[in-house]
Structure 1
Amino acid sequence: MDQHQAKREMRERLLAARRAMPAAERTAAGSALRDAVLALPGITMGGTVCAYHSIGTEPPTHKLVAALWKHGVYVLLPVVLADGSLDWAAYEGPDSLTPADHGLLEPMGQRYGAEAVHRAAAVICPALAVDHGGVRLGRGAGYYDRALARVGPNTLTLAAVYDDEFVDTVPAEPHDQPVGAVVTPGGGVRRLAPQ
């Protein structure tokens, strides 16, 4: 089986598991993720964090985004562009979000361009799975691979997944961009050794 097919099958299995997860478990996961990220040294020191506003069965990030913002962090959220890249706009509270394509909520604040991730202290990105080498499995559109290719050398890249989505191996292709850390509800933040 080729890597592309292996990714597709892994996505289907993980998405089915997410759909079967009780809502209360997802809610608890969101609180645990928030607490784990806020405990990172320096994360609330007033820098910029690029994050995302979760949808559907993704590990909930709404509490995390709100907490970072309330702690004075300059939070940027993605805006999907027609060319498949991500622009980044300022999050200015829950009322600053507007419905967009694919069920997303996007910020209406000032936009900073695709290169904003290069200057961020941290980039928190979605994933369906992450392995111990930092390979992340996304939804397959490549938005975050393109964004992660732009991060600066000192930017912490962090993928948020449920506990059982931190796995031994994720199928990888040449365009896949690794992350430097993973955050799970039960394990907190773990630094990885991208290969």
Structure 2
Amino acid sequence: MPGERTKYAWRDRILAERAQLATTEHAAEAAALAAAIGPLAGPDVVVCAYVPIRGEPGDLRMLDALRERDATVLLPVTGEPGPLCWARYEGADSLRKARYGLREPTTPTLPPGTVATAASILVPALAVDRRGVRLGRGAGYYDRTLGAADPAARLIAVVRDSELVDRLPEEPHDHRMGWAVTPGGGLRELDLRPE
């Protein structure tokens, strides 16, 4: 459609907005996200998550809220392009600096298929639309990983309120999210009905 934004234009706009976000506002939003995500946890529940970096919504409180409710929290371990490996999060002291500015667990690395054990998967996103189309950073790690997830798992895009939008460009390899979590709206199911 004429005037429709490209993925590159969306990324530029959202990254610029995130860069302008005040530290106090980011912290308040992170606290709200941790409160919204905590109820996903419970004994014997596996949640795949990630450590937010570079202005991404949330912080370690999201992960700690899950652990406080006895969930097993798995974080991605990056390697060569392909599906992500995973490792157990055991608290802030269990993290080390990794490539791309990421922080990853020092615990033993688990194979990519481990994602199939997760009841919920928190997925970093620059934006998500109401149909579940997610805009990532473009490296494709999650698109190559989510195909191995349990079909019953909740795929949850973590975004700011303004990053839940009406429509994003979609490509055939994109995996749609079934849920979004935002600081103001909490956890909400998205509309995955065919258009």
Q: TM-score, normalised by structure 2?
A: 0.93
2-side partners of 1:82 and 1:66: how far apart? 28
Q: What is residue 8 of structure 2 aligned with on the other side?
A: 8
Say which is worse superposed, 9-18 or 103-112, in terms of deviation: 103-112
Match of 2:86 in 1: 88
Q: Which amino acid aligns with 1:166?
A: L
User: CA–CA distance in 2 between the matches of 1:36 and 1:161?
Assistant: 12
Structure 2: which amino acid aligns with 1:159?
A
Residue aligning to 1:66: 64
The aligned counterpart of 2:186 is: 188
Instruction: Give the letter aligned to residue 192 of structure 1.
Output: L
Q: Find the aligned partners of 1:59 and 1:171 in 2 and give their Cα distance.
A: 22
Choose which of 136, 149, 153 in structure 1 pairs with 2:134: 136
Tell me the matched-pair count.
Answer: 191
Aligned equivalents of 1:130, 1:12: Cα separation in 2: 15
Unmatched tracts of structure 2, length 5 or more: none
For residues 133 and 151 of structure 1, what CA distance do their matches in structure 2 show? 19
Matched, 1:24 2:24: yes
* Structure 1 residue 71 displacement after superposition: 1.9
Structure 2 letter corresponding to 1:120: A
Shift of 1:10: 0.6
How many percent of aligned residue pairs carry the same amino acid?
Answer: 45
Superposition pairs of residues 28-177 of structure 1, within 5 angstroms? 28-40=28-40, 43-177=41-175
Structure 2 residue matching 1:82: 3-state secondary structure: coil
Question: Mean Cα displacement is larger for which, 178-187 or 107-116?
Answer: 107-116
* Cα contact 2:38–2:69 (8 A) shared by 1: no
Structure 1, unaligned runs of 5 or more: none
Asked if structure 2 preserves the Cα contact closer than 8 Å seen for 1:51 and 1:75, the reply is yes
